[in-house]
Amino acid sequence: MAIIINLDVMMAKRKVGLTTLANDVDITLANLSILKNNKAKAIRLSTLDAICRSLNCQPGDILEYVADEEIQE
pLDDT in 10s for each residue of the chain, 73 residues: 689 999 999 999 999 999 999 999 999 999 999 999 999 999 999 999 999 999 999 999 999 998 876 656 5
Look at the chain and report how many structural domains it folds into: 1
Q: Residue 52's pLDDT is what?
A: 97
Q: So what's the pLDDT on residue 70?
A: 61
Residue 33 lies in a domain: yes
Within 1-73, where are the H helices? 7-14, 18-25, 29-36, 45-55, 59-62
Domain span at 16? 3-67
Stated as kind and residue range, the H or E segment containing 4 is: strand 3-5
Query: Residue 39: what pLDDT?
Result: 92
Tell me, what's the pLDDT at 73?
A: 52
pTM attached to this predicted model = 0.86
Asked whether residue 72 is domain-assigned, the answer is no
Q: Would you say residue 30 lies in a domain? A: yes
The CATH code of the domain that includes 44 is 1.10.260.40
Is 73 among the domain residues? Answer: no
